[in-house]
Amino acid sequence: MTVPLPFALDVAGFCTHPGRVTRPDASWRSLRFPALFGVIEHPRAGVVLVDTGYAPRFIAATARWPARLYRSLTPVTLPPGETAVDRLAARGIRADDVRTIVVTHFHGDHIAGLRDFPRARIVFTASAWAAVADLRGLAAVRKAYLPALLPDDFSSRADVLDDAGGLRPLPPQVAPFGRGIDVLGDGTLWGVPLPGHAAGQLGVYFHAASAGPTLIAADAAWHSHSIRAPHDLHVLARLLSPDHRAWRATLDALHELAKGDAVRVVPLHCAEVAAGVGWVARGGPHPPTPSPKSGGGGGSLAVE
């Protein structure tokens, strides 16, 4: 079922990392990687978030060894008021209004805000959880996973998607991606497996009210440029990738999807995407952009 859904992107902090590690034509100077998250307003399911970006708990959780290694590799800046819960509040959306959070994968920069939304069910794939569930200490850090970021009632709010036996044919617009998961059971929101960067990584495909068919591509690419001109992983990035061959195959598939211009592909760390919705990557909060749904009160970076 195709239902146009109001959609916005926003930013909850950013990290820095040498550009060359993420694309071969970049210099070694540090680039800023915004932690984008998606806000989808569904007529039945209410407010759905796709990931949450950074939050102060990430800083607290990485204060000591070995988790501090995570922060050292990707230094984080979290300006005041630039968390998901703050950005939503500026748009008139309360924390309790968020009823579903789709976790694309369990890296800390995607789950740090989970505790701020106590009424949301937390949706993720079985294979993503299986890859990190028993990890602690350095083993968890090597997977960019911080167990302390999960809510205390995580197990009671978890909604696990079967990404082995539960795959169904995707809408034809998402080709060359063929099979995925009907996240809400009504055909409006599809989980698209995007292997390579993290076990069980899930993209989210839907019809945005103004932007049209859209695939939130999580970390399958760090730059929109990489989707336009696919490349291999740098040797240093391969050390942290569970499957660099799958990563390249996914990137090639995103390239095929995006070059037809029928589907907008949104990587969640792309500064180009963030700039396109008004974010200023200078270590301070972006200027508020009024949203049509907020009565002009400022706040979220509205795509609609």
Can you give the residue range of the structural domain that contains 75?
7-302
Length of the chain: 304
Cβ neighbours for 185, distance < 8 A, ≥ 6 positions apart: none
In the structure encoding, which two tokens stand for residue 272, read together?
């180009």
For residue 281, the model assigns a pLDDT of 56
Q: Is residue 1 part of a domain?
A: no
Percent of residues, the chain, with pLDDT higher than 70: 92
CATH number for 52: 3.60.15.10
For residue 302, the model assigns a pLDDT of 38
For residue 54, the model assigns a pLDDT of 98
Digit-coded pLDDT (tens) for 143-156? 999 999 999 999 99
**Whether the predicted pLDDT of 299 surpasses 60:** no
Mean pLDDT over 223-241 rounds to 92
Lowest average pLDDT, out of 165-174, 177-186, 230-239, goes to 230-239
Q: How high is the mean pLDDT of the chain? A: 91
pTM above 0.75, yes or no: yes
Q: Is residue 94 part of a domain?
A: yes
CB burial of 188-224 (b: ≥16 within 10 Å; e: otherwise) equals: bbbbbbbbbbbbbbbbbbbbbeeeebbbbbbbbbbbb
Mean pLDDT over 25-36 rounds to 95
Q: Is residue 72 part of a domain?
A: yes
Q: Is residue 2 part of a domain?
A: no
Q: Is residue 166 part of a domain?
A: yes
Digit-coded pLDDT (tens) for 118-132? 999 999 999 999 999
The better pLDDT of the pair 237, 99 is held by 99
**Whether the predicted pLDDT of 298 surpasses 60:** no
Measured CA distances, 53 to 38, 48, 100, 112, 155 (Å): 10, 14, 15, 6, 21
Digit-coded pLDDT (tens) for 237-278? 888 788 999 999 999 999 999 998 899 999 999 999 999 988
For residue 1, the model assigns a pLDDT of 65
Mean pLDDT over 96-114 rounds to 98
Q: Is residue 213 part of a domain?
A: yes
For residue 241, the model assigns a pLDDT of 87
Phi, psi of 201 (to 5 degrees): -60, 135
Give dist(CA 179, CA 182) in Å, integer: 10
Beta-strand pair 76-77/7-18: antiparallel
Domain total in the chain = 1
